[in-house]
Structure 1
């Protein structure tokens, strides 16, 4: 996104946070309404162009949104989208992407209120690992010609009763309406959004054996001190690391595994 769209998105996130502070707002319904608006603007290219046309006044665009959405979505959703179209967007796609992000954010608010946000973060990570390790499942979920309802049914069979309802909704939306993203990229974005909900970074940690609670606490504290933010640990076990741990935060890798030290020693000997 360009600067204008980033500023507009930041303002929209603040508006969502304000709604999140109001416990009378049904966050799950807001998420569903925002998802419906995303689908509408994905279909109606000319409408989203009008709503991001810099030649039109913000108030005129807000009034148009209010009229179009009246009776179709809740008042909170209509007000939120009306506020968004008052802002300046660099292109129409940025507006739709932002509304979709707010839909996911609203679902994460629902999980946070229920005390389930940590579970949702962990389930998104674990589902990503399952997809990565199962090529047949990935192929079924990313098949561009497969029916959306069939994909949704498959996911509900896999996740229903086993995962938090918020996790299920997020994954079903991503798979049935990827909007140009890869499955892995979409899951990573959702994990980051969940972490940002608590102002934390996400660290993918691979160790040779499972870490105990004391080790996880020490690692989390060390990373928080290093990065100046709380860090959520997504844990995975891989015996091939031969001891130690490997930590990935974004594009940065902090490695302390025996395998890496052996490889480095080999490189030095070869040099």
Structure 2
């Protein structure tokens, strides 16, 4: 987001930061519910983002929609959001979705489970990616969200935290792109709240802890940030390693080197 929407998002996230960690899970759940409600209420969303309507009028409308349906903590976040200026109606609901992710991240941090949330999101994403049937269902926008929710709970319930399950379910709504793209965005948002970058390393074999520590330290020095390292074992790598950090990819695999050599020989 840019301009006025970016400033309004910052204000909304500040309101999330003020939420007690003990109630952050409820706030995240209710914010995702508010996103669903506003996505289905185009007229209300337009009013809430209309710059010609005074702020108090917008806040009164939001209170009328959500009053008595959400907690006071959630209401304060929604109040901060509708009190801002958004460049488009979708920016408001996108901002509330980001705020929901932030609330679940805050809850995980408060419970000392921030790293667990990041790791679970990555591992669950890999499980879904590697299962053609599961990936097809969660990626199909014609499948009702309720059915996806049931499926995800059947597969991951009891195996991941409630925060992870909530983010997986929200990603399956696929509001802003494909399931995998949205889940990747959520993972980056979780890491960013911890002031970390997410690095994905493709390797030929599972790294031991000492190797992971050395790679993490090297990446931290390169990017000047704390790194959340996720690894994917890929036999096609043959040797070496390929690391992606955001949109940057450093490919030092043997397979890539061999292909480059083949091209040079072929002229």
Answer whether TM exceeds 0.5 for this pair.
Answer: yes
RMSD: 1.6
Pairwise CA distance, 1:150 = 2.4
Give the total of aligned pairs. 267
Equivalent-residue separation in structure 2 for 1:137 and 1:251 (angstroms): 26
CA distance in 1, matches of 2:252, 2:176: 36
Contact 1:31–1:104 (CA under 8 A) maintained in structure 2: yes
Q: Pick one of 222, 225, 228 that aligns with 1:229.
A: 225
What is the aligned partner in structure 2 of residue 201 from structure 1? 197
Which segment is superposed worse, 67-76 or 83-92? Answer: 67-76
Q: Which runs of structure 2 are paired with 1:213-252 in the superposition (5 Å)?
A: 213-252=209-248
Question: Which residue of the other structure, out of 46, 50, 57, is the alignment partner of 1:49?
Answer: 46
Tell me the equivalent position of 2:120: 123
Partner of 1:11: 11
Contact 1:248 1:254 in 2 (8 A): yes
Q: Which residue of 2 aligns with 1:73?
A: 70
Counterpart of 1:62 (choices 52, 59, 82) is 59
Aligned residue in 2 for 1:102: 99
Please list every run of 5 or more consecutive structure 1 residues that lacks an aligned counterpart in the other structure. none
Question: Which of 147, 150, 154 in structure 1 is aligned with 2:144?
Answer: 147
Report deviation, 1:173.
2.4
Structure 2 unmatched ranges of 5 or more? none
Deviation at 1:128, TM superposition (A): 1.9
**Mean CA deviation greater in 30-39 or 127-136:** 127-136
Is 2:156 aligned against 1:166? no
Q: Are 2:15 and 1:27 aligned?
A: no
Give distance in 2, aligned partners of 1:35 and 1:68. 15
The whole-number CA distance in structure 2 between the counterparts of 1:106 and 1:157 is: 24
2:178 aligns with 182
Tell me the SS of whatever aligns to 1:26. helix
| Moved segments of 4+, more than 6 Å | none
Instruction: Provide the C-alpha distance between the structure 2 equivalents of 1:95 and 1:43, rounded to a whole number of angstroms.
Output: 13
| TM superposition shift of 1:74 | 0.9
Q: Tell me the residue number matched to 2:88.
A: 91
Deviates more, 1:178-187 or 1:98-107: 178-187
Q: Please, which moves more after superposition, 96-105 or 113-122? A: 113-122
Q: How high is the TM-score relative to the length of structure 2? A: 0.94
